[in-house]
Amino acid sequence: MSTTHPPVQLAPGQIFVRESIGNVLILSPAIDLGSLHEPEIIHETEDLLDIINHPDGEPIHMVVDLSHSEYFGTALLGAIVKLWKRVSQRGGRLAICNVSQNVLQVLHVTRLNAIWPIHNSRDEAIKAVRG
């Protein structure tokens, strides 16, 4: 028996579906994020940086689930770099999962695959950031 989930409602201007599992924040782009979405990406990145900066004392780890993205532009790449730097400053880790061949190629060309672990599933990525 399969369970259907209601469609996720995003706030106006929000482009990432956000989920929290303990101290792990999971981001999933709701749409393919090419450079046409740069203003929205910049705005939401600032909001996410505020969440990461919350002074709760516990590091926030982050998983970026790209299962719904066949492609991403430089704006999203820059956003992930900013988020990763802030997460790292707070003692957390970032991992990426469910990448397409196109995204994997971008990560290899930019050599970001050497910095961010890439996992086949969300569960693997969550386990990895939790250490």
* Residue recorded with tokens 């090419």: 34
Residues facing residue 10 across a β-bridge: none
- pLDDT, residue 32, reads 64
| Polymer length of the chain | 131
Please identify every stretch of the chain with a pLDDT value under 70, giving residue numbers as ranges.
1-13, 32-36, 57
DSSP state of 12: T
- pLDDT, residue 49, reads 92
Q: 3-class SS at 54?
A: coil
- pLDDT, residue 109, reads 93
Residues 73-92 have pLDDT tens digits of 888 899 999 999 999 999 99
Looking at every residue in the chain, the average pLDDT score rounds to 85
* Residue recorded with tokens 């989930």: 5
Q: 3-class SS at 109?
A: helix
Write down the domain spans for the chain.
Answer: 16-130
The hierarchical CATH code for the domain 16-130 is 3.30.750.24
- pLDDT, residue 33, reads 60
